[in-house]
């Protein structure tokens, strides 16, 4: 029961920050000049690389924090601020500069292969995603729950691949209005997650100082 509850929390947190629906529309705009088979190939490669990066950061997060001398609570506070900014952009239906900038969009037009940059990183696995997976992995003590977090990452990117794979029919079904409504709802959820990160981080830092 604990594992299932943690999976729901981890999956929701990662899914909201990756934002597969928003990523799907950006992916479609970047691959507008590609044929169907090439788009599927690029999508599969992008999702695989993005997922691999997320798992690598999740597993090696503790080593990274130790190397820079940063505590997980400091990361929670910094990540909470970043995620809250992304959440506000989502609520107001803006493209977040945390995940994808206009400069990167222009640069992508001149690239033959966009699977690594800018789709895998930073569109799918940007600073917000990296912070989220590290904090989630470090928030649980047991190997079993850490494995559950990895499964949540895999599930998120599996759904992302399916959305990339069927982007054309899905975009027609969802339409702009539904997409914007869904994005705003996810932005609200992400805002709540960001506040939780901030509150937990500030509380733990304050307790450590006593």
pLDDT in tens, 72-88: 999 999 999 999 998 99
Q: What average pLDDT does the segment 177-191 reach?
A: 88
Q: What average pLDDT does the segment 44-68 reach?
A: 94
Is the Cβ–Cβ distance between 136 and 149 less than 8 Å? yes
Residue 19: both structure tokens together: 């934002």
Is the Cβ–Cβ distance between 194 and 83 less than 8 Å? yes
Percent of the chain topping pLDDT 70 = 91
pTM confidence score: 0.88
Average pLDDT, rounded, for the chain: 88
Full 3-state SS string of 93-154:
CCCCCCCCCHHHHHHHCCCCCCHHHHHHHHHHCCHHHHHHHHHHHHCCCCHHHHHHHHHHHH
Residue 118: both structure tokens together: 């800018």
pLDDT for the residue numbered 98: 55
Distance CA 88, CA 158 (A): 26
Judged against a pLDDT cut of 80, whether residue 111 lies above it is answered with no
DSSP 150-190: HHHHHHHHHHHHHHHHTHHHHHHHHHHHHHHHHHHHHHHHH
């Amino acid at each position: 029961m604990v594992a299932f509850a943690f999976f729901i929390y981890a999956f929701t947190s990662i899914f909201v920050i990756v934002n597969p629906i928003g990523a799907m529309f950006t992916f479609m705009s970047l691959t507008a000049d590609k044929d169907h088979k090439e788009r599927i190939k690029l999508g599969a490669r992008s999702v695989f690389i993005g997922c691999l990066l997320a798992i690598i950061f999740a597993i090696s997060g503790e080593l990274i924090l130790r190397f820079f001398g940063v505590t997980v609570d400091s990361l929670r506070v910094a990540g909470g601020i970043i995620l809250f900014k992304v959440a506000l952009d989502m609520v107001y239906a803006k493209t977040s500069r945390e995940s994808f900038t206009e400069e990167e969009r222009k640069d992508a037009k001149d690239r033959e292969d966009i699977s690594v940059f800018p789709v895998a990183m930073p569109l799918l696995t940007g600073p917000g995603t990296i912070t989220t997976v590290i904090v989630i992995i470090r928030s649980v003590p047991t190997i079993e729950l850490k494995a559950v977090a990895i499964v949540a990452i895999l599930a998120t990117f599996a759904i992302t691949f399916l959305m990339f794979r069927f982007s054309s029919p899905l975009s027609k079904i969802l339409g702009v209005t539904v997409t914007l409504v869904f994005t705003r709802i996810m932005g609200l959820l992400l805002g709540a997650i960001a506040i939780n990160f901030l509150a937990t981080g500030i509380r733990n830092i304050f307790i450590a100082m006593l």
